[in-house]
Every structure is written in C-alpha cells, then in structure tokens.
C-alpha cells in the first residue's frame, strides 16, 4: 500500500551537518563544490536525467524577512509554544478558525509586502544558465513564482495568495479577503494599524519585531499570547451562501451569516481555508505525482534551505537517492536523515557526486552564479 503524502512536522533531533567534500566548509569551498555539482556530466544510468531539480524550504525565505521554523539546532526558535494548526482542527472547530484567521489577518500585511531575495533571483539565474530542470518548493510565500515565472515550479504545500472553499472548491484572492476581515473586525483592524504605525511590521529583524510585540511565522501568521481570538469574525464562501451545496447523502447544507456577513456557527458549509496544505492534510494526488515526476526527470537534486523536516519533502530526496541521483544539501544546520544520502560517496569527490554545505543561500548562490558565468566564459574563450 502506498503511504499518504502528508504534511507532518518532524520535531525529533537533527544530526549535525557533515560537510562534503571536506573543503566545502568555507564559502569559497562551498561555491567550488556546488559549481562542480552543477557542471558534472549527466549520470550515465539516468537516460532522461537532464539538469538539477531544486527542492527549497523555509531557509531560503529568511533573508526576505520571514522566520525559519527551526534554528541550526533543529528546535523551534520563534516561540517554544508555537504549534501550527492541523487540518482536522481547522475543519471541525469554529474557534480554531477564528484564532487562525485572527493571526493570519495580522501576519498578511507583512507577508504581502515581503519580496523574493537574492537566493530566489539566483535560482532564476541558474535556470537561465540551463542548470535547472524544475523547482519544488515547500514554501507557501509565492516568492519562487514571483522571482522566476518562466521556470517550472511546483508549490508542494500550496500557497497563501489564495483561499479555497472546503465545501464547493471555489477559489478567492487572499488580498480581497483581507479587506473583508478588516470590515468584520474593526477593533483588530485598529490594532493592526497601530502595529504598522509603531513599525512592528516594518522591521525585518526578528529581534526588533519581538521587542515590539510581534512574531511572524513562516506560514504568514502572527502569534499574540492572550489575544481575544474568540471575538474574531470571518466571512462565508459567497458561492455556498448563494446556493448551499448538497452533502454526499443528498441532504442540503446550511450556510448562515450574521447581519454584517460573518459566518455563523449554525452553518454546516461555506468554510474557506487558505490554499495551503495544512499540517495533517494530504497532498493532492496530482501534486504528489508532479513532484515525483520532477524528481524522475532530473539527473541530480539540490536541497536549499530545508532541514527536510516534513515527510513529504524528505521522501522526495529519498526517491532521488533510490534512483542513484547525486544529492546536494545547502542548509544551515542538520537535515533529517542526511547521513544516509552521502554514506556511499568515496574519497576524491570534488562535489560532482554529492555536496553538503552549511551556508546562507542568499550569500552563496549569487557568488555561485558569478563563478558559473566565469567558468562558462572560460569554456567559450578556450
Ligand atoms: Zn463554497
């Protein structure tokens, strides 16, 4: 039986990174090893394996002002009590949804304002140089499609820029939803305006932001201890409101709103959710197949800014390993199961057979591009 491809956070300890090759322990060494990785000949046993598939995680967005889930020790760093909402909880609990949308309401302004960083632009350049077959990202911040709209990109865990109705499947832009939340929650809207006023959302420095009382998580929400979440209101799906859908047994659902248009707890449908794969939610089978195809169509894989803590991402690297693809990992700190990815690499590897470095992607990748361009000029000149 096939295991479900589920988004589950892994909270176990991570091994310290073992740098491969050994001289990749400095930025210069890492750039050389990565250059060798990208320019190595296509593995002979992979007839279709042209190019490298990139698998990215929260670490690549840190330089855009979004915090990583984990620090270098593999622990949750933002807030020890932070726990992401699970899909079943979101579906079954009005209270949980109020809390989710309140936090999302505060976090959205910051996320919407944030922009791709030099690492995303380096991914675009790697694509233009012909080294990338496709990009798989675990991030829901839309930075990859913004930075390189022409490079095939699969958003494994969906995206925050849209909402989807869990009952009728209609989609809505998050930006407009934000305005509706603002109208339904004037006190929260004033609080948000105040936070923007004091600049708590302006700084990209997590310490300064914390001092001003705000924490933004990678899923674009903000945590406020003791906030009155139960007062928060959110709208119903307009399509379900107009025409409540039928259940599988043929009975009609009920969709009711209050005088202002907020979803009423007497409703049995019309629930909107972010178009992300929540924790505990299965990845749709078409996305799962597309991710596997992206692995199978590539000759090598480079993980950027991910500790592979989610099973769905770790499994893709395991699949690449089973196909005999060279693996690269560029991530600050350990990655789940990384020892098994590199254990069969013999001495004399210069990065062509595998590379493991613990550096900042936004610093290393632009320099890698420079190096690859100068190598290219060298080939043309020679
Ligand atoms: Zn609907």
Per-residue model confidence (pLDDT) at position 80: 45
**In this structure, are residues 272 and 166 in contact, taking their beta carbons and an 8 Å threshold?**
yes
Eight-class DSSP state of 299: S
**SS3 at position 76:** strand
> What does CATH list as the number for 22-65+117-157+284-381?
3.40.50.1220
Compute the distance from residue 234 Cα to the ligand 1 centre, in Å.
14
User: Hunting for tokens 């989710």 — which residue is that?
Assistant: 100
pLDDT along the chain (382 residues), means of 10: 59 82 96 97 86 95 71 40 81 94 86 91 97 96 96 96 96 96 92 79 60 59 69 96 92 94 95 93 95 97 94 94 96 91 91 96 97 85 58
Q: In what order do the strands lie in the sheet with 300-304?
A: 153-155, 132-137, 52-56, 300-304, 327-330, 354-357
240 annotated as ligand-binding? yes
**pLDDT the model gives residue 223:** 61
Q: Which of 55, 280, 52 is CA-nearest to residue 155?
A: 55
pLDDT of residue 76: 38
What separation in Å is there between the alpha carbon of 245 and the centre of ligand 1?
8
Cβ-count burial of 25 within 10 angstroms (0-12 exposed, 13-18 middle, 19+ buried)? middle
* Strands of 158-165's sheet in order across: 171-173, 158-165, 272-276
Token pair in block for residue 347:
């001495």
pLDDT of residue 224: 63
* 165 is annotated as contributing to ligand binding: yes
Q: Measure 165 CA to ligand 1 centroid, in angstroms.
A: 5
Residue 357 labeled ligand binder: no
- Dist. CA 202–CA 281, nearest whole Å: 32
Q: How far is ligand 1, taken at its centre, from the CA of residue 229, in Å?
A: 24
Start-end ranges of CATH 3.40.50.1220 in the chain?
Answer: 22-65+117-157+284-381
- Is-contact 372 125, C-beta < 8 A? no
pLDDT value for 201 = 63
What lies within 8 Å, CB to CB, of 194 at 6+ separation is none
Question: Which residues are marked as active site?
Answer: 157
Its pTM stands at 0.88
Token pair of 287, please? Answer: 């996305």
What's the rounded Cα separation, in Å, for the pair 353 and 367? 21
């Amino acid at each position: 039986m096939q295991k479900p491809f589920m988004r589950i956070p892994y909270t176990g300890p991570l091994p310290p990174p073992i740098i491969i090759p050994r001289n990749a322990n400095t930025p210069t060494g890492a750039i050389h090893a990565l250059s060798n990785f990208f320019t190595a000949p296509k593995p002979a046993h992979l007839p279709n394996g042209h190019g490298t598939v990139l698998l990215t995680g929260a670490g690549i967005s840190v330089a855009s002002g979004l915090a990583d889930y984990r620090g270098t020790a593999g622990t949750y760093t933002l807030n020890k009590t932070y726990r992401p909402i699970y899909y079943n909880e979101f579906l079954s609990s009005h209270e949980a949804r109020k809390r989710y949308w309140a936090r999302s309401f505060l976090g959205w302004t910051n996320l919407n304002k944030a922009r791709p960083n030099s690492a995303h632009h380096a991914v675009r350049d790697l694509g233009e140089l012909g080294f990338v077959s496709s990009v798989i990202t675990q991030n829901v911040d839309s930075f990859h499609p913004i930075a390189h709209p022409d490079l095939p990109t699969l958003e494994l865990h969906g995206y925050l820029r849209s909402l989807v109705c869990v009952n009728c499947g209609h989609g809505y832009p998050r930006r407009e939803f934000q305005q509706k939340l603002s109208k339904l929650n004037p006190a929260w809207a004033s609080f948000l305006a105040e936070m923007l006023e004091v600049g708590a959302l302006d700084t990209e420095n997590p310490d300064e932001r914390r001092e001003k009382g705000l924490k933004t998580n990678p899923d674009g929400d903000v945590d406020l201890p003791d906030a009155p979440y139960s007062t928060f209101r959110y709208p119903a799906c307009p399509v379900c409101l107009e025409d409540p859908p039928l259940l599988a047994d043929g009975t009609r659902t009920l969709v009711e709103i209050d005088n202002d248009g907020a979803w009423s707890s007497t409703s049995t449908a019309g629930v909107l959710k972010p178009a992300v794969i929540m924790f505990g939610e299965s990845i749709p089978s078409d996305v799962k197949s597309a991710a596997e195809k992206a692995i199978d169509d590539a000759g090598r894989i480079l993980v950027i800014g991910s500790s592979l803590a989610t099973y769905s991402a770790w499994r893709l690297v395991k699949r690449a390993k089973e196909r005999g693809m060279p693996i690269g990992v560029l991530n600050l700190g350990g990655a789940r199961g990384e020892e098994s990815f590199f254990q069969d690499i013999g001495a004399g590897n210069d990065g062509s057979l595998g590379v493991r470095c613990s550096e900042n992607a936004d610093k290393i990748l632009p320099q890698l591009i420079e190096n690859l361009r100068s190598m290219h000029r060298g080939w043309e000149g020679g």
